[in-house]
Amino acid sequence: MKAIVLAAALAALLGIGLLRPPPGSGPDDAAAPVADAAAQRRHGAYLARAGNCMGCHTAHGGEPYAGGHVLETSIGTFITPNITPDPDTGIGEWSAEDFWQALHHGQGRDGRPLYPAFPYPDYTRVTRPDADALFAYLQSLAPVAQRNPPGRIRFPFNFRPLLHVWRALYFEPGTYVPDASRDEEWNRGAYLVQGLGHCNACHTTRNPLGISQGDVLGGGRLMESNWYAPSLTSLQEGGMSDWAIEDIARLLTTGMAPRAAATGPMAAVVSQSLQHLRPEDARAMAVYLRSLPETAPYSRGPAPGLTGDVDRLLRQGEDIYEAHCRECHGAAGQGMLNAYPALAGNRGVTLASPTNAIRSVLFGGYGPVTERQPRPYGMPPFAQHLRDEEIARVLSYIRNAWGNRGSLVTAAQVDRSRKGIH
């Protein structure tokens, strides 16, 4: 019933003309002549890696850029399209203008509005020369004939005209405008983070309509993987305003730094994309990220009072830690740089939601595979070795040992993660 009411309300908005006129020609839309096509393609190849285009447009074990990746969202399941230059199943018949309309205006080649699962609200900041270079590179790839199935979008969101309402209310196309009060390096970092890097697509809480419900880069849950992307504006989560620029750049390109380690989906982003950044671009992003103001409210949740029952539970967790975790993470949770992350003082351990820590213990994982570290150390999965109650106890201990303070983890929370329940 709520969905029907929503559909009726949005349809009424359509009826009263809450629509933006179709995109026209403006100063941002004009294509520039290209003197060196080979150099343009090389630049496009770099941009494709920096934006991690292959990460979304490649199915597990599939041909690069041929699409087929399954993307779960709050409104349904999307299957990413083939963006190789195959004329029948890819973008071989597209023009640079068609590609620009998709990237900048969020419109398909047929003029229909695209769903923002394709992060054009971020990509709209990309300049026309960069968009043309990216398109030139994609057109130089070997065509792959792969027709991907359509997505499965739930009612009423499968009524595509409603996208016009969403766009009129929440989408404003426009390339990145440099901040005159900042230097060139800061603006380069802001351009990469806000645009091609589309960091906000993950690091912001959104409602079922895909509308941001918090501060920009203020943290959000990833429905596709059930991980939490921490706030980049809170020192209690992933904020870096008190970090050295070199350590931020190191984390971006290697996934390891003295105070943090990339895991889960972020480890994949480092492997597939960020490790290939030019040093000056990694530093520019670091400069921008360190400058972000601390605006996101944060709470670790209620830390437990040290009652007798709590003390017994934490001692049980300590025994489990000694048996399964100490060898790698150390007696004092100090870890080993470039191998095993420290748990003492680790903000990822004490997040208000223990989801990331639970998933790491349940399913294990590896750090990013990079040129510097082609065989990273890994975390073994304990889903088959420890019961939900044991995982809850050891994590409760870790969240309250060596100066850490966080809420207790429950067996019910572990059970939900084990079953993939959001």
pLDDT, tens only, 354-401: 999 999 999 998 888 888 888 888 899 999 999 999 999 999 999 999
Strand partners, 73: 76
Alpha-carbon span 379 to 363, nearest angstrom: 8
What's the start-to-end Cα distance of the chain, in Å? 23
Q: How many CB atoms lie within 10 A of CB 237?
A: 22
Listed residue (239, 233, 201) closest to 218, CA to CA: 233
* pLDDT for res 409: 96
* pLDDT for res 366: 83
| C-alpha separations of 185 from 4, 7, 8, 269, 285 in Å | 49, 45, 48, 22, 8
Alpha-carbon span 365 to 261, nearest angstrom: 12
- The stretches in the chain having pLDDT less than 70 are 1-28, 207-215, 224, 296-301, 421-422
Listed residue (265, 35, 383) closest to 43, CA to CA: 35
Alpha-carbon span 414 to 361, nearest angstrom: 10
Q: How many CB atoms lie within 10 A of CB 348?
A: 20
* pLDDT for res 5: 43
Strands 227-229 and 70-73: unpaired
* pLDDT for res 213: 59
* pLDDT for res 30: 74
* pLDDT for res 105: 97
| C-alpha separations of 40 from 32, 359, 369 in Å | 12, 42, 28
